[in-house]
Amino acid sequence: MKFLLEVEVDVDDAASAEDATRELGRILRYWAGSLKYYALEPGVGEAVLDSGHREVGRWTIVGS
């Protein structure tokens, strides 16, 4: 089994690198805590949302 996580957090002129780091940390903590509610088997996955509830990526369980 493989756990794949793809997340894109924009770092632009309006947001500092610290803001991007804080947002990425929040996303990772949220989804790490939520995994206990999912069957970790191939085919399971979910969209990853940022603090503004915008889709910024996806995680998926795939076979080896």
Name the pairing type of β-strands 45-49 and 55-62: antiparallel
How does pLDDT run across 9-51, given as a tens digit for each residue? 776 666 677 788 888 888 889 888 988 999 999 999 999 988 8
Q: Using a CB cutoff of 8 Å and minimum separation of 24, what contacts does 15-24 make?
A: 23/50, 23/51
Residue 60: pLDDT over 90: yes
CA-closest candidate to residue 6, choices 57, 48, 41, 51: 57
Q: What is the pLDDT of residue 11?
A: 61
The answer to whether 59 and 48 are in contact (CB under 8 A) is yes
